[in-house]
Chain A
Amino acid sequence: MAYQMDAHHAPVDPSVPLEYSTEDGQLKILGFWVFIAADIVLFSCLFATYVVLHNNTYGGPTAEQLFDVPGFVTETLLLLTSSFTCGLAIFEMHRSRLQPMIGWWIVTILLGMGFVGMEISEFAKYVGEGANITRSAFLSSFFILVGTHGTHVTIGIFWMISILIQLIRYGITAVTARKAFVVSIYWHFLDAIWIFIFTVVYLSGKVS
């Protein structure tokens, strides 16, 4: 247990949650929040681009013709549920129960994979209908905005798998707790971004 041998990572304050218990952990969690702020700016720019360009269909398919309600509602449910199970995993972590934590962690990863799989098949379907990224400014901005979110989710899945391995290997320590907590912030953040995509892209696209 290399982690526990290292005094730098030793808990400095047992009264706070494990992930905050070391100086190093506190720094990294704050740093990650700041990164999230930067990522919000990034998504804001992509949203702005989409909003500006979403009517520029150039004779190609419109949002209303393209989007399929059961599809994007299922995607939404998968991602929202995964955010919930991720929360349950962190809840179990705070109760120091490794097995249930790992269980919920795996469920989260699977739900995330389901989401990405559905998104890929949705994109493939559009491209098959000739609605690809080169067709119109609307589709360019659509694929880039939704695709950037999907890429974030994909990275999140690989990230969570690496944390899963570390949880199995080292158990719940100050370090693994901090890492799990950070990826959970990331995951909830992606969920929040998706709510905006759901509203701004899919719902508005269907309603207009």
Chain B
Amino acid sequence: MLPHYFNHLFVSGIDIYIADVLIILASISIVGVLTYFKKWKWLWREWLTTVDHKKIGIMYILAAFAMFFRGGMDGLMMRTQLAVPNNHFLGAQHYDEVFTTHGTIMILFMAMPMLIGLINVAMPLQIGARDVAFPYLNAISLWTFFFGALLFNLSFVIGGSPDAGWTSYAPLAGPTFSPGPGENYYLFGLNLAGLGTLASGINFLVTIIKMRAPGMTLMRMPMFVWSTLITSILIIFAFPVLTVALSLLSFDRLFGSHIFSMTHGGMPMMWVNLFWIWGHPEVYIVILPAFGILSEVIGTFSGKKLFGYSAMVGSLIAIAFLSFLVWVHHFFTMGAGATVNSFFGVSTMLIAIPTGVKIFNWIFTMYKGKVRFNTAMLWSLAFIPTFVIGGMTGVMLAVAPADYQYHNSYFLIAHFHYMLVGGTVFGVFSGLYYWWPKMFGMKLNETLGKWHFWLFMISFNLTFLPMYLLGLMGMTRRMYTYPPGLGWSHLNMLETVGAFGQGFAMMFMMVNIIWSIKNGERDLTGDAWDGRALEWATTSPAPEYNFAHIPMIYGRDAFWDRKYGKDKAKYTLKAKPYTPIHMPNNSGRPFLMAVAFFISFFGFVFEWWLVAGLGLLAVFFFMFSRSFETNTDHYISVEEIEHTESGGGRS
């Protein structure tokens, strides 16, 4: 009766024991602090049950930071192992697990939630809406992501980590070559989080289509909203493919089906195709919102309207369309033939054109502008050259014959770190410094911010620039150690120094956050940077209902025009009386439902069918009970609005 995974439930190893102890200590201290300060009720009422898009966004960002820490630790472990030849810091198996979790966590549980968090915070405000279209669903998205990430991370201490790479190629990831629960964690953790991502995509799309303030036509939307719209469409078409791929592999592993197996007629290439039909658009799901942030930040800190708005929109659409036509470039060397490779090579190179358009537009936006070099702006500025280096090496990789040389080498690793760190992460930092006052009502310290920026930027290049060289010198990815005398040692040491430099730089951001909570410059105007879009038209942080009056829009850069435009008279709100504002109620159900999902999927990971079934039953119970809930909304009274507005949004 005892399931066969039961005997290796607990993983042994010195780092695992350290992790066990740290997890227990951290849990005890969190529980202790919450109990000591009597904050349980506050945590539940204000945060865990909230349906407010701004708080949901903040929780996304918090969780993503925790994942950034975990993924970063994985990265540092790898770089420690590779610092010198013939190193024995990590074993081969352990190294496999670490690079698998590093890649998976950084892309799915760090980059994407970080961006979804920023979208949640800023997008509804930018379109002058009071909320997203489906606030309750938004909470479900957050908690399924959160518990999906938790499930994935649990593998480290219970049952063992996945070790087949973040791409989880079959048949390596199949039951024969990856026995044990590790790979199941990957499949079910990603699938749970993926549900939340798909729901977010639907939510954002409907929000942008239906909930823009009066007068905000599509071609008047801020560029960040445009990038969210296109990203949402990519999510809606790409994520079901991931769901199918993960579910099929789960069937192979749990129920002995033969979709991706080597025997009984299965076809491992099916996995590679499905994975990358999702995987390549995923690259743009994590880069397009960063493009959007860049457009906002550069416009604001140049004091100019965005150059080439329509071209920016057009290039977003072109990139999104092309992103679905290029997936085969991930396996040029798998024998698809010259015609197929040529098609996918050329379609990949085409993406450079709309991307180039965007880069020139950002540069022209700064041209003759009054550029202010705030930390947020510095991150955006650094984005441009790093992204160009990453993009050009990407075009080099897209040359199919040459790819036979670069394939699986460190050249590729350098390329995608320039895209994902130099692109997405720089964009995220830019967005965090930019919207921090809107989220928390105070600015981050500029001096500490610039330390963070310069240290990180230099260390980043120190880490990944040598990788191009190492790749050309023949060092391949996924190798856990190498012999001396190949000429790789110095560059590897340099990279390790750079990696720790990035970790060190992140401490400046942490110190900055803590320092700024106490001493940071408070933003009393709501308009911390002399901004252009509507999120700056309300207080910082914005009240629950965002805008007491829904704003009217007469052009692009709505808030800028209201402040400085020719016909700003049009914008001055006549002293209309407040009316009660309709808002959704908080609910604990999304949280509990995600817990039920978590329990169920944990059961699936260990093939404990009873646990899996009961968990699913609980999920359906929560859906059913929601359907019968009638008391889902409330009104904020005029007195309360008056009180909030006179207090400048701060209660």
Decide whether A and B assemble into one complex: yes
Judge whether A38 is part of the interface by a CB distance below 8 angstroms.
yes
**A166 CA / B628 CA spacing, docked (Å):** 8
Tell me whether A31 and B264 are in contact (CB under 8 A): no
**A161 CA / B235 CA spacing, docked (Å):** 31
Tell me whether A42 and B236 are in contact (CB under 8 A): no
How far is the CB of A153 from the nearest CB of chain B, in Å?
A: 15
Known: A34-B202, A35-B202, A144-B248. A45 touches B257 (CB 8 A): no
Tell me whether A133 and B251 are in contact (CB under 8 A): yes
Which residues of A (1-34) have their CB < 8 Å from a CB of B? 2-3, 6-8, 26-28, 30-31, 34
B630: nearest residue on chain A (CB-CB)? A2
Interface size on B, residues (CB 8 A): 45
Judge whether A81 is part of the interface by a CB distance below 8 angstroms.
no
A135: nearest residue on chain B (CB-CB)? B264
**A42 CA / B243 CA spacing, docked (Å):** 8
Judge whether A162 is part of the interface by a CB distance below 8 angstroms.
yes
- Number of A-B contacts defined by CB within 8 Å: 117
Judge whether A63 is part of the interface by a CB distance below 8 angstroms.
no
Which of A34, A42, A133, A144 has the largest count of B CB atoms less than 10 A from its CB? A34
Tell me whether B627 and A166 are in contact (CB under 8 A): yes
How far is the CB of A19 from the nearest CB of chain B, in Å?
A: 15
Judge whether B549 is part of the interface by a CB distance below 8 angstroms.
no
A31: nearest residue on chain B (CB-CB)? B206
Judge whether A41 is part of the interface by a CB distance below 8 angstroms.
yes
B278: nearest residue on chain A (CB-CB)? A45
User: In the complex, what residues of B have CB within 8 A of residue A8's CB?
Assistant: 582, 633
The interface bits of chain A over 193-206 (1 if a CB of B lies within 8 angstroms of the residue's CB, else 0) are 00000000000000
Tell me whether A137 and B206 are in contact (CB under 8 A): no
Judge whether A107 is part of the interface by a CB distance below 8 angstroms.
no
User: In the complex, what residues of B have CB within 8 A of residue A143's CB?
Assistant: 257
Known: A31-B133, A42-B243. A37 touches B627 (CB 8 A): no
Which residues of A (23-64) have their CB < 8 Å from a CB of B? 26-28, 30-31, 34-35, 37-39, 41-42, 45-46, 49, 52-53, 56-58
Partner of A57 from the list B134, B247, B265, B630 (CB cut-off 8 Å) is: B265
Tell me whether B236 and A46 are in contact (CB under 8 A): no
How far is the CB of A30 from the nearest CB of chain B, in Å?
A: 5
How far is the CB of B129 from the nearest CB of chain A, in Å?
A: 11
Known: A39-B240, A42-B243, A162-B624. A140 touches B202 (CB 8 A): no
Known: A52-B270, A136-B264. A38 touches B240 (CB 8 A): yes
**A49 CA / B274 CA spacing, docked (Å):** 9
Would you mind naming 17 contact pairs between A and B with Cβ atoms under 8 Å apart?
A: A2-B631, A27-B133, A27-B134, A38-B198, A38-B202, A38-B236, A41-B236, A45-B240, A49-B274, A56-B266, A58-B258, A133-B255, A134-B258, A137-B267, A140-B258, A144-B248, A165-B628
A143: nearest residue on chain B (CB-CB)? B257
**A99 CA / B203 CA spacing, docked (Å):** 35
Tell me whether A31 and B266 are in contact (CB under 8 A): no
Judge whether B444 is part of the interface by a CB distance below 8 angstroms.
no
User: In the complex, what residues of A have CB within 8 A of residue B134's CB?
Assistant: 27-28, 31
Partner of B259 from the list A26, A31, A144, A179 (CB cut-off 8 Å) is: A144
Q: Main SS of chain B's interface residues? A: helix
Judge whether B256 is part of the interface by a CB distance below 8 angstroms.
yes
Tell me whether A58 and B265 are in contact (CB under 8 A): yes
The interface bits of chain B over 609-636 (1 if a CB of A lies within 8 angstroms of the residue's CB, else 0) are 0000000000010001001101101000
The interface bits of chain A over 156-178 (1 if a CB of B lies within 8 angstroms of the residue's CB, else 0) are 00100010011000000000000
**A141 CA / B209 CA spacing, docked (Å):** 37
B620: nearest residue on chain A (CB-CB)? A158
Tell me whether B267 and A56 are in contact (CB under 8 A): yes
Given A27-B211, A133-B256, 6 additional A-B pairs, CB 8 A: A2-B630, A3-B630, A31-B134, A58-B264, A134-B255, A134-B258
Q: Main SS of chain A's interface residues? A: helix
Judge whether A138 is part of the interface by a CB distance below 8 angstroms.
yes
How far is the CB of A41 from the nearest CB of chain B, in Å?
A: 4
Ranked nearest first, the 5 interchain pairs of A and B with the lowest CB-CB distance are A56-B265, A137-B265, A140-B257, A2-B630, A42-B240
Judge whether B239 is part of the interface by a CB distance below 8 angstroms.
yes
Which residues of B (244-265) have their CB < 8 Å from a CB of A? 244-245, 247-248, 251-252, 255-259, 261, 263-265
**A176 CA / B225 CA spacing, docked (Å):** 33
Which residues of B (264-285) have their CB < 8 Å from a CB of A? 264-267, 270, 274, 277
A155: nearest residue on chain B (CB-CB)? B620
B198: nearest residue on chain A (CB-CB)? A38
Judge whether B641 is part of the interface by a CB distance below 8 angstroms.
no
Tell me whether B258 and A31 are in contact (CB under 8 A): no
B266: nearest residue on chain A (CB-CB)? A137
How far is the CB of A22 from the nearest CB of chain B, in Å?
A: 11
Tell me whether A6 and B198 are in contact (CB under 8 A): no
Judge whether B552 is part of the interface by a CB distance below 8 angstroms.
no
User: In the complex, what residues of B have CB within 8 A of residue A26's CB?
Assistant: 210
User: In the complex, what residues of B have CB within 8 A of residue A31's CB?
Assistant: 133-134, 202-203, 206
A45: nearest residue on chain B (CB-CB)? B244
Q: List residues of chain B with CB under 8 Å of any chain A CB.
A: 133-134, 198, 201-203, 205-206, 209-211, 236-237, 239-241, 243-245, 247-248, 251-252, 255-259, 261, 263-267, 270, 274, 277, 582, 620, 624, 627-628, 630-631, 633
Tell me whether A6 and B633 are in contact (CB under 8 A): yes
User: In the complex, what residues of B have CB within 8 A of residue A135's CB?
Assistant: 264
Tell me whether B257 and A133 are in contact (CB under 8 A): yes
Tell me whether B257 and A134 are in contact (CB under 8 A): yes
Tell me whether A34 and B251 are in contact (CB under 8 A): no
User: In the complex, what residues of A have CB within 8 A of residue B240's CB?
Assistant: 38-39, 41-42, 45
How far is the CB of A33 from the nearest CB of chain B, in Å?
A: 9
**A2 CA / B267 CA spacing, docked (Å):** 55
Tell me whether A49 and B627 are in contact (CB under 8 A): no
Tell me whether A38 and B239 are in contact (CB under 8 A): yes
B205: nearest residue on chain A (CB-CB)? A34
Tell me whether A137 and B258 are in contact (CB under 8 A): yes
Tell me whether A49 and B270 are in contact (CB under 8 A): yes
User: In the complex, what residues of A have CB within 8 A of residue B264's CB?
Assistant: 56, 58, 134-137, 140
**A52 CA / B248 CA spacing, docked (Å):** 14
**A136 CA / B261 CA spacing, docked (Å):** 10
How far is the CB of A57 from the nearest CB of chain B, in Å?
A: 7
Tell me whether A140 and B627 are in contact (CB under 8 A): no
**A141 CA / B270 CA spacing, docked (Å):** 12
User: In the complex, what residues of A have CB within 8 A of residue B255's CB?
Assistant: 133-134
How far is the CB of A148 from the nearest CB of chain B, in Å?
A: 8
Which residues of A (106-136) have their CB < 8 Å from a CB of B? 133-136
**A28 CA / B251 CA spacing, docked (Å):** 33
How far is the CB of A5 from the nearest CB of chain B, in Å?
A: 9
How far is the CB of A46 from the nearest CB of chain B, in Å?
A: 6
Tell me whether A46 and B244 are in contact (CB under 8 A): yes
Tell me whether B259 and A141 are in contact (CB under 8 A): yes
Known: A7-B582, A31-B133, A58-B265. A41 touches B241 (CB 8 A): yes
Known: A144-B259, A162-B624, A166-B628. A138 touches B265 (CB 8 A): yes
**A141 CA / B252 CA spacing, docked (Å):** 11
Tell me whether B265 and A45 are in contact (CB under 8 A): no
**A52 CA / B272 CA spacing, docked (Å):** 14
The interface bits of chain A over 91-112 (1 if a CB of B lies within 8 angstroms of the residue's CB, else 0) are 0000000000000000000000
Tell me whether A30 and B259 are in contact (CB under 8 A): no
**A39 CA / B240 CA spacing, docked (Å):** 7
**A53 CA / B267 CA spacing, docked (Å):** 8
A169: nearest residue on chain B (CB-CB)? B628
**A165 CA / B198 CA spacing, docked (Å):** 29
Tell me whether A49 and B248 are in contact (CB under 8 A): yes
Tell me whether A140 and B210 are in contact (CB under 8 A): no
Partner of A140 from the list B237, B239, B251, B274 (CB cut-off 8 Å) is: B251
Tell me whether B202 and A53 are in contact (CB under 8 A): no
